[in-house]
Structure 1
């Protein structure tokens, strides 16, 4: 039987303009592997906790103290909990609360000549880690856009620009680079 591939669209909630990615992943992946796909496709550095919510069920890394009622993401295969048209969420960094809205856009037969996962498309750079969630990211975008003398002299704007670093380009995204990272680390 040929392998099934899910075409997923990941959109970062609360960002305007929208930060999103479209990826192809094997339907046999576990949620743990999908976490790695989300990290590398979006551009995160995997230095915070995360969870998935599918049909009101929470999945993630089991809590050794038992305080969080999470189902083990290693035990959940995509094709067992999702299908074409499924909508679910992935939350990364419980402090900044980066919520990703995901949808299974299509279920395809794997191309035997293709290596998976693949990032097909996307728009906009991933926000810098620790920027303060969607509200902090919006403030960063405003600071980067304000090139007036007052904006350049604004201490908060300067701090945000420093946090992002001199090479941060909010409009930049390269799906080929994302695919390279996906294939190397997922």
Structure 2
């Protein structure tokens, strides 16, 4: 059954440490949890959700920096992490408390600035979530973080590099670092993604 909502949260997600910037602007329903926001960020950025993640932001009630994501009971990599599927974004993000750090893949350590830009009335003719705009393609998974990404860019623009053919084969597809089309973004069902992610835990 479709959940009812009247407002949407507009976020700008910017991948940190990369120039020119790689960013996305999305709108999501006000009832979203941090798990659902995680899935929306993954899909908008074009990550593949292979790795662990966490949000870090100031708790609006205590003023303390708080981790939200996958608690230690499920994945023993972090302590005192609140389950993302239990935390509503509407209780954390406000016009005054509008920033979070979203980290994906603790090996490559991709850090994203997540900024609440606006809280807007829902438009009935739009299916949410939606990606409004953005710039540049997401880095390939497992490319070695920011340093590995910059090295990859140098390789693929130089066919004379001895690593060129191997790198192109590793990419497995045409990769244009400057390309992004918000109309091509497809958002997965976060409930299905949740069941898929925790399937091994429940069997």
**CA apart distance, 1:165:** 3.1
Asked if residue 32 in structure 1 is aligned to residue 48 in structure 2, the reply is no
- Alignment TM-score, normalising by the size of structure 1: 0.88
Match of 2:102 in 1: 90
Per the alignment, do residues 87 and 135 of structure 1 end up closer, same or farther by CA in structure 2, a change over 3 Å counting?
same
User: Aligned partners of 2:77 and 2:51: how far apart in 1?
Assistant: 17
Shift of 1:172: 1.1
Residues 1:122 and 2:134 are matched in the alignment: yes
- The structure 2 residue matched to 1:72, chosen from 83, 96, 100, is 83
The CA RMSD over aligned residues, in Å, is: 1.8
Residue 155 of structure 1 aligns to a residue whose secondary structure is coil
Residues 1:38 and 1:2: Cα distance change in structure 2 (over 3 Å): closer
Q: In structure 2, how many angstroms separate the alpha carbons of the residues matched to 1:57 and 1:159?
A: 42
Residues 123 and 173 of structure 1 are in contact (CA less than 8 Å); yes or no, is this contact kept in structure 2?
A: yes
Specify the alignment match of 1:173 in structure 2.
180
Task: Give the corresponding residue for 2:189.
Answer: 185
Q: Give yes or no for contact 2:14–2:114 (8 Å, CA) kept in 1.
A: yes
User: Which residue in 2 is equivalent to 1:14?
Assistant: 17
Equivalent of 2:50 in 44, 47, 50: 47
- Aligned pair count reads 178
Gaps of 5+ in 1: 147-151
- Find the counterpart in structure 1 of residue 198 from structure 2: none
Distance in 2 between residues matched to 1:33 and 1:128, nearest whole Å = 22
CA shift in 2, pair 1:105/1:89, >3 Å: same
CA contact (8 A) 1:59 1:72 kept: yes
TM-score by length of 2: 0.81
Residue segments in structure 2 that go unaligned for 5+ positions in a row:
59-64, 191-203
